C-alpha cells in the first residue's frame, strides 16, 4: 500500500475547493485504487451529512443537499467501480498506536482523536505517504516519518 488519505483529501476529491486540483491529480496518477478504511468512509459520510444539516439551518454555511448528495453518490460510484477500495485494518494495533501518538503529541500540538486515528492507521498499514490538506495533521504525520506529498 503506497498512500493513505484522510477526510480532507476525500473532501477535496469530491467537492470543488482550493485543493481539489491537487487531489484529483494525485488520484489520477495512482497506480491502483485509493485504499480506505471503513472508519475513514464513516467520518467522510458523517461530515457531509452534518454539512447538509448545517446548510439547511443556515444557508450561508455547509453544503446544499444537492451538493452533499452528489459527493456521497460520487464516492459510492468510485467504490462500485473499484477506484476506491475498502481494506481491512488491524484495529487493536491502530488503537495502541493512536494511544502512543496521543500521549506523545496531543498536549503539545492539540491533535483531535480522529486525526490521530487516521495517522495511526497509516502507520499500522505501513504506507509511504499520508494524504492530507490539514496542516496540523500533516505535522503529526511528518513527526512520525510519513511523507506528505500534497
pTM score, whole prediction:
0.92
Helix (H) or strand (E) holding 128: none
User: Given this model, what pLDDT does residue 28 score?
Assistant: 94
Residue 114 near residue 137, CB atoms below 8 Å: no
User: Given this model, what pLDDT does residue 74 score?
Assistant: 97
Secondary structure of 76-108 as H, E, C letters: HHHHHHCCEEECCCCHHHHHHHHHHHHHHHHHH
Delineate the domains of the chain, giving CATH numbers in brackets. Answer: 3-143 (3.40.50.1010)
Rounded-to-integer distance, Cα 140 and Cα 145, Å: 9
pLDDT tens digit at each of 150 positions of the chain: 689 999 999 999 999 999 999 999 999 999 999 999 999 999 999 999 999 999 999 999 999 999 999 999 999 999 999 999 999 999 999 999 999 999 999 999 999 999 999 999 999 999 999 999 999 999 999 999 999 998
Rounded-to-integer distance, Cα 36 and Cα 42, Å: 10
Amino acid at each position: 500500500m503506497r498512500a493513505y488519505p484522510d477526510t480532507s483529501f476525500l473532501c477535496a476529491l469530491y467537492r470543488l475547493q482550493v485543493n481539489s486540483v491537487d487531489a484529483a491529480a494525485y488520484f489520477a496518477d495512482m497506480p491502483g485504487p485509493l485504499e480506505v478504511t471503513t472508519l475513514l468512509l464513516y467520518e467522510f459520510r458523517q461530515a457531509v451529512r452534518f454539512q447538509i444539516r448545517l446548510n439547511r439551518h443556515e444557508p450561508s454555511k455547509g453544503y446544499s443537499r444537492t451538493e452533499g448528495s452528489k459527493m456521497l453518490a460520487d464516492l459510492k460510484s468510485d467504490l462500485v467501480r473499484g477506484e476506491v477500495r475498502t481494506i481491512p485494518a488491524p484495529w487493536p494495533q491502530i488503537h495502541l498506536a493512536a494511544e502512543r501518538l496521543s500521549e506523545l503529541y496531543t498536549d503539545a500540538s492539540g491533535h483531535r482523536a480522529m486525526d490521530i486515528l487516521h495517522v495511526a492507521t497509516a502507520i499500522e498499514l505501513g504506507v509511504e505517504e499520508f494524504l492530507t490538506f490539514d496542516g496540523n495533521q500533516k505535522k503529526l504525520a511528518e513527526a512520525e516519518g510519513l511523507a506528505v506529498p500534497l
